[in-house]
Amino acid sequence: MYKLIDGKEVSNHVKTKVREEVDALKEKGIEPALAVIIVGNDPASRVYVNNKKKACEFTGMRSVEYAMPEETTEEELLSVIDKLNADDSINGILCQLPVPKHISEKAVIERISAKKDVDVFSAENVGKMWQGDYDMASCTPMGVIELLDYYGIDVCGKNCVIIGRSNIVGKPMASLLLERSATVTICHSRTKNLSEITSKADLIVAAVGRAKFVTADMVKEGAIVVDVGINRNDDGKLCGDVDFENVKDKCEFITPVPGGCGPMTIAVLMKNTLLACKKQNGII
């Protein structure tokens, strides 16, 4: 019988701990603050930004939003980032991706000060992760680690397979698992004999962005399956990269979609903003 990994429960646990620390900081006259920039009118981006604002309210952090029109130039966006970099009252900065096509995502990511890069997308902060010398880790991969820790799942020595090699999930996920002494394999669209590789995995992290891509024949009995994917099926309902109904009974643990990894990304964002605030104020 599989055990469901409840991301909502773990997310609330993480955010509650953050709120306790935020309350303690406020007593010292320090108020953690997160600035969120959104460019254009993408509906999904607006939902994500609103969820981040709600998380700030829950944790007691100050939230500042910069909503910019679709026609905003790259120069104008970078100017706002420069302003926020120089504002000592702002501890974390994120620009909701994707940005309009005429703006370089790379330029935006690298313009945000490394000490305020709470998404942990910059080359400097990602490099620190790979060296194991970091305070903040990439939000979604660290959210997966938080889930594993909460359920007492030790990856040391385990054969872990990540499906997907993105800079946001796949690569940093490999870094965090390696740090915990897992044996890590990254698979992607050019991988040959994918099922042969995944069927030997103790832990599968699916982050490929294709609905129900991971099928039962790709999973061994007793595996742990973490589904990072967020897709919509033919009926328009949210689903993950894993064929949940057909895979679940082979698993020891499995995450649902929605309600698995999704809530953890924002929870870790709150944790990172708190860490950034503490570091900027000389507390850590």
96 is catalytic: yes
Q: Which of 117, 119, 227, 241 is catalytic?
A: 119
Instruction: Provide the sign of the torsion angle of the four alpha carbons 64, 41, 8, 167, taken in this order.
Output: negative
Q: How many angstroms separate the Cα of 276 from the Cα of each of 132, 201, 217, 269, 282?
A: 17, 35, 43, 10, 10
Locus of tokens 């406020």: 26
Name the β-bridge partners of 37: 66, 95
Q: Which two tokens stand for residue 254?
A: 């499995």
Q: How many angstroms separate the Cα of 259 from the Cα of each of 145, 205, 219, 246, 255?
A: 16, 16, 21, 18, 8
CB 140 within 8 A of CB 261: yes
106 is catalytic: no
Q: Which of 15, 96, 202, 248 is catalytic?
A: 96
Q: What is the dihedral of CA 178, 5, 169, 204, to 10 degrees?
A: 60
Q: Which of 15, 52, 171, 271 is catalytic?
A: 52
101 is catalytic: no
Residues annotated as catalytic are 52, 96, 119
